[in-house]
């Protein structure tokens, strides 16, 4: 079932989602960064999920370390593209706007870190055999997942978005 809404409501949903994700991301990073290093790792699910604290000056999986200016520029471009995509596509599908808000909130969360923490992003969620990540990263992935599902559903239903 596709839920449609007015442009005003969709803009509110988009903005609130982005703001909530940004606040949640920054709040969790604030808490993690103010805990003494001696409490880490915190075992949440034995042998599977831990809370640790690392800083990352690169991209996903620690790639391209110490390229702060490039990542700030890329983040700003991505944020602008998200907003342009929101305006130009003007999809009146609630889930699409939720997903786009998640991606924007996550992008803003990591950008705030890069600007205020000398290029470092705090990562703290560690699933064994996977990269360490944060709330912003999680919602970027979840948001893109939602967007892809909405687009695919519409593509297969109508033959085009």
The residues annotated with a catalytic role in the active site are 123, 137
The backbone torsions φ and ψ at residue 131, rounded to the nearest 5 degrees and listed phi first, read: -70, 160
Beta strands, E only, the chain: 42-45, 49-56, 121-127, 132-133
At a CB cut-off of 8 Å and minimum separation 6, what does 67 contact?
A: 57, 58
Closest by alpha carbon to 22, among 160, 154, 135, 142?
Answer: 135
- Tell me the residue length of the chain: 161
Helix (H, G, I), strand (E, B) or coil at 57: coil
Distance CA 32, CA 55 (A): 11
């Amino acid at each position: 079932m596709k839920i449609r809404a007015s442009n005003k409501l969709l803009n509110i949903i988009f903005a609130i989602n982005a703001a909530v994700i940004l606040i949640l991301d920054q709040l969790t990073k604030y808490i993690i960064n103010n805990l003494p290093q001696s409490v880490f790792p915190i075992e949440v699910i034995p042998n599977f999920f831990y809370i640790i604290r690392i800083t990352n000056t690169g991209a996903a999986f620690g790639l391209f370390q110490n390229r702060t200016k490039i990542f700030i520029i890329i983040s700003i471009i991505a944020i602008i593209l998200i907003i342009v995509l929101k305006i130009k596509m003007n999809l009146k599908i609630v889930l699409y706007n939720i997903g786009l808000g998640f991606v924007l909130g996550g992008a803003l969360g990591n950008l705030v870190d890069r600007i205020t923490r000398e290029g470092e992003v705090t990562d703290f969620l560690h699933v064994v055999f996977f990269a360490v990540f944060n709330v912003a990263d999680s919602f970027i992935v979840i948001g893109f997942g939602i967007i892809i599902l909405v687009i695919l559903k519409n593509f297969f239903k109508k033959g085009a978005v």
